[in-house]
Amino acid sequence: ITRMEYVHTKSLIYRDVKPENFLVGRPGSKRQHTIHIIDFGLAKEYIDPETKKHIPYREHKSLTGTARYMSINTHLGKEQSRRDDLEALGHMFMYFLRGSLPWQGLKADTLKERYQKIGDTKRATPVEVLCENFPGESTAQPPAPSPLSPVPLSPCVPAEEMATYLRYVRRLDFFEKPDYDYLRKLFTDLFERNGYVFDYEYDWAGKPLPTPIGTMHSEVQVQPPNRDKAQPHTKHQVSN
């Protein structure tokens, strides 16, 4: 969230959220605890450099981004803004938590039909359903309340934070500045209530790196007929 906020402070929207574009600093380096964003080929200025005003709301836009993670409004052909980057982040978070998303693996005769099915499935999947069955959920009872923790949580009890996050970003207005502090606090409060500490021990630490074989998922790159004025060399990329 902080990385995306920084991108937005530079008058840019990212428009290509996917796991492959977020890298953690190398162990032992000065930036080993920093998440780096790469590949700004689809980034676009949302503040006009001449007028200093937000770009106008438009519809009937072609798809730009990675279909698995892009926002619902992007599927509907609406111009992207800061809200869409954050919604795509939410979809990526749920992909990490669940291991897959309900709109993966959909069959269609054409790419256009597949993207339509992905968008339809996103709209038809309630946030509560999307966020309820991720690893860690259990029927175990939470610990008894205490004055210091009126809403106690444990790693075995599903939290509402992800659902709250997605509902918030999906309700943002096109021009609205997101409350990044509020979104961060959702998760830092959960972190503290569970008694976690920042030990920087990640799941993948000490594991051998896999040998890449081809691409991680199908990807189609199409050159749009009309490039955005702010991005004269932007590539058009859609993948499932």
The structural domains of the chain, with segments of one domain joined by +, span: 56-231
Exposure of 226 in the CB half-sphere (CA atoms within 13 A): 4
For residues 228 and 226, give the distance between their C-alpha atoms in angstroms, rounded to a whole number. 7
Residue 149 clears pLDDT 90, i.e. is over it: no
**Average predicted confidence (pLDDT) for the chain:** 82
Q: Answer for the pair 84, 70: CB distance below 8 angstroms, yes or no.
A: yes
Render pLDDT for 114-138 as a digit per residue (tens, 0 to 9): 999 999 999 999 999 999 866 444 3
**What does pTM read for this prediction?**
0.79
CATH number of 56-231: 1.10.510.10
User: How far is Cα 52 from Cα 48, in angstroms, rounded to an integer?
Assistant: 5
pLDDT in tens, 11-24: 999 999 999 999 99
State pLDDT tens for residues 197-210. Answer: 888 888 777 778 77
Annotated catalytic residue 16: yes
Where residue 158 falls among pLDDT bands split at 50, 70, 90?
A: very low
